[in-house]
């Protein structure tokens, strides 16, 4: 593991925080809180040992699922906030951290082009944030259908079930994007209330054509909910994306609601999602009349615009600190980190596509749209390709290279002329690499070597 700056940062900031409360009379912690330091150290030794039973998510050779370490400033700020443990349910549960939440969320809204005109807050994650978006959508269009691409996150169908909203799945094309003809067929039926548009699908990072769906909304009238839990931050570097993705990210301010997960690409510890609404008036739908929530301010507080009650104020503190250090600007260091991830994915895809030994199939529809690369093995049948893939996956792991597996339609990897119809097509197990760490660009050579060495060893 690299040297960790967090303990020193935390020691210094802890003193500064103690000084803030310097006027309080000192008190002795109860025996339970002041346990024997040796006993606590022994427990933590065991914890360290137990935590060793994990993939090394922090290392650049972990290039599998959507996992990357939080920024040191986020970890330090989160740990510092633990001395207070604020609850952002209501202002009197976390005055400072509620303000930091509103500021940090406004900065995210600004990134999406909604400076000064949004309603939003943090959530425990993308699932809760999407639940709030569909809950609002369902109240505004009761009993009308929610539709999402079959490549959308499975959570939308499940949430629609929880909310008892009728749901329909729209087929995806060979690039994993919502098929717009199929969408329009559903829209013509006249009962679609909300279209979920995914900017950055979880499987392959595909970007639905938001700009074209906005044009359909002008004609058919429906709500647009953008699920950008994974991809939202790519708005900052849309100029380096392909033309369709650039147009989709440019149109994001046309959405009615947006979800983004700071705990995915935003360098935050888990427990940090974000929901934004374009029209602040939807706040009225959250109205409640609780005798428990004390009002120490006349302003609408966060507990009044959130379905969750207790929420970690520390998440807001960590996010605020990160955005102070790394502002969400197109030319800043944060955006450069995303650009490096993107460059790593483009390079891996290029190597797969132009492999002289002809060992791999890249996506026939074209290079990745964000920083997620998928590929299948060349083999006579889908079954043999899947088996080879699983063996390579394990052989890579033995070399400390950690990739992920995903099931995709075989036709996505075949040239258009001999592609089979996607309906009912055969699935193949593929390799998947989410290259979301800024170090991945520099490590791409080592990742490629690990992959080809694993292949050679079989």
Ligand X SMILES: *Cc1c(COP(=O)(O)O)cnc(C)c1O
| Residue keyed to tokens 């890579």 | 396
Residue 229 CB, nearest approach to ligand X (Å): 4
Q: Look at residues 426, 451, 267 and name the one whose alpha carbon lies nearest to residue 349.
A: 451
Residue 19 CB, nearest approach to ligand X (Å): 36
Residue 263 CB, nearest approach to ligand X (Å): 6
Is 410 a binder of ligand X (CB under 6 A)?
Answer: no
Residue 342 CB, nearest approach to ligand X (Å): 16
Residue 260 CB, nearest approach to ligand X (Å): 10
- The dihedral built from the CA positions of residue 232, 238, 240 and 241, taken in this order, carries a sign that is positive
- Contact yes or no for 336/343 (Cβ under 8 A): no
Closer CB to ligand X, residue 136 or residue 451? 136
Is 273 a binder of ligand X (CB under 6 A)?
Answer: yes
Q: 122-181: which residues touch ligand X (CB under 6 A)?
A: 125-127, 130, 153, 155
Distance CA 15, CA 17 (A): 5
Closer CB to ligand X, residue 306 or residue 410? 306
Interior angle at CA 102, CA 96 and CA 107, nearest 5: 125
Choices 101-109, 120-128, 157-165, 173-181 (CB under 6 A): range interacting with ligand X: 120-128
Residue 198 CB, nearest approach to ligand X (Å): 5
Cross-sheet strand order for the sheet of 119-123: 119-123, 273-277, 257-260, 223-227, 192-198, 145-149, 167-170
Distance CA 306, CA 299 (A): 15
Closer CB to ligand X, residue 274 or residue 363? 274
Interior angle at CA 271, CA 270 and CA 274, nearest 5: 115
CB 97: neighbour CB atoms within 10 A? Answer: 27
Q: 336-395: which residues touch ligand X (CB under 6 A)?
A: none
Q: Which residues on adjacent β-strands are paired with residue 145?
A: 192
Distance CA 337, CA 327 (A): 12
Closer CB to ligand X, residue 101 or residue 261? 261
Is 261 a binder of ligand X (CB under 6 A)?
Answer: yes
Residue 230 CB, nearest approach to ligand X (Å): 4
Q: Look at residues 386, 373, 381, 388 and name the one whose alpha carbon lies nearest to residue 428.
A: 386
Closer CB to ligand X, residue 261 or residue 304? 261
Per-residue three-class SS string for 54-122: CCCCCCCCECCCCCCCCCHHHHHHHHHHCCCCCECCCHHHCHHHHHHHHHHHHHHHHHCCCCCCCEEEE
Give residue number: closest CB to ligand X.
126
215-219, long-range: CB within 8 Å, 24+ apart, which pairs? Answer: 216/180, 216/183, 216/184, 216/187
Query: Of 78, 230, 249, 320, which lies in the binding site for ligand X, with binding defined by CB under 6 A?
Result: 230
Size of the site for ligand X (CB under 6 A): 13
Closer CB to ligand X, residue 200 or residue 450? 200
Residue 227 CB, nearest approach to ligand X (Å): 5
Closer CB to ligand X, residue 93 or residue 273? 273
Q: Which residues on adjacent β-strands are paired with residue 431?
A: 375, 405
Closer CB to ligand X, residue 126 or residue 138? 126
Closer CB to ligand X, residue 94 or residue 273? 273
Is 97 a binder of ligand X (CB under 6 A)?
Answer: no
Residue 188 CB, nearest approach to ligand X (Å): 27
Is 68 a binder of ligand X (CB under 6 A)?
Answer: no
Residue 130 CB, nearest approach to ligand X (Å): 6
Q: Look at residues 354, 432, 368, 363 and name the one whose alpha carbon lies nearest to residue 240.
A: 368
Distance CA 14, CA 41 (A): 20
Q: 170-229: which residues touch ligand X (CB under 6 A)?
A: 198, 202, 227, 229
Distance CA 431, CA 425 (A): 19
Closer CB to ligand X, residue 198 or residue 410? 198
- Contact yes or no for 108/96 (Cβ under 8 A): no
Residue 202 CB, nearest approach to ligand X (Å): 4
Closer CB to ligand X, residue 212 or residue 261? 261
Q: Which residues are near ligand X by CB under 6 A?
A: 125-127, 130, 153, 155, 198, 202, 227, 229-230, 261, 273
């Amino acid at each position: 593991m690299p040297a960790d700056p967090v303990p020193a940062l935390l020691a210094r900031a802890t003193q500064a925080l103690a000084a803030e409360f310097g006027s309080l009379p000192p008190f002795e912690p109860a025996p339970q809180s002041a346990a024997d330091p040796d006993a606590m150290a022994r427990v933590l030794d065991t914890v360290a040992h137990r935590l060793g039973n994990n993939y090394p998510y922090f290392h650049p050779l972990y290039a599998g699922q959507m996992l990357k370490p939080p920024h040191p400033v986020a970890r330090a700020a989160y740990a510092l906030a633990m001395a207070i443990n604020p609850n952002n349910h209501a202002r009197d549960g976390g005055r400072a951290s509620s303000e930091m939440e509103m500021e940090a969320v406004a900065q995210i809204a600004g990134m999406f082009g909604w400076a000064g005109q949004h309603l939003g807050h943090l959530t425990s994650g993308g699932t809760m944030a999407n639940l709030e978006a569909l809950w609002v959508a369902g109240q505004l269009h009761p009993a009308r259908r929610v539709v999402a691409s079959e490549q959308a996150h499975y959570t939308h169908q499940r949430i629609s079930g929880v909310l008892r909203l009728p749901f329909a799945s729209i087929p995806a094309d060979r690039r994993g994007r919502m098929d717009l003809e199929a969408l329009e067929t559903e829209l013509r039926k006249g009962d679609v209330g909300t279209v979920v548009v995914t900017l950055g699908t979880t499987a392959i990072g595909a970007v639905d054509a938001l700009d074209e769906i906005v044009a359909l909304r002008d004609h058919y009238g429906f709500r647009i909910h953008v699920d950008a839990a994974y991809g939202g931050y790519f708005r900052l570097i849309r100029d380096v994306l392909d033309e369709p993705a650039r147009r989709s990210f440019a149109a994001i301010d046309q959405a009615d609601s947006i979800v983004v997960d700071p705990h995915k690409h935003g360098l935050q510890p888990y427990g940090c999602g974000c929901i934004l609404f374009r029209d602040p008036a939807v706040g009225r739908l959250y109205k409640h009349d609780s005798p428990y929530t004390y009002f120490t301010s006349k302003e609408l507080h966060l507990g009044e615009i959130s379905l969750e009650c207790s929420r970690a104020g520390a998440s807001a503190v960590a996010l605020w600190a990160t955005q102070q250090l790394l502002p969400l600007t197109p030319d800043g260091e944060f955006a450069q980190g995303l650009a490096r991830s993107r460059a790593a994915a483009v390079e891996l895809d290029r190597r797969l596509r132009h492999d002289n030994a002809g060992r791999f199939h890249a996506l026939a529809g074209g290079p990745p749209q964000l920083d997620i690369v998928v590929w299948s093995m060349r083999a006579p049948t889908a079954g043999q390709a899947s088996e080879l893939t699983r063996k390579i996956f394990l052989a890579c792991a033995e070399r400390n290279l950690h990739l992920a597996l995903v099931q995709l339609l075989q036709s996505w990897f075949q040239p258009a002329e001999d592609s089979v119809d996607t309906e009912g097509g055969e699935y193949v197990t593929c390799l998947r690499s989410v290259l979301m760490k800024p170090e991945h660009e520099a490590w791409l050579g080592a990742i490629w070597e690990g992959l080809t060495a694993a292949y050679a060893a079989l």
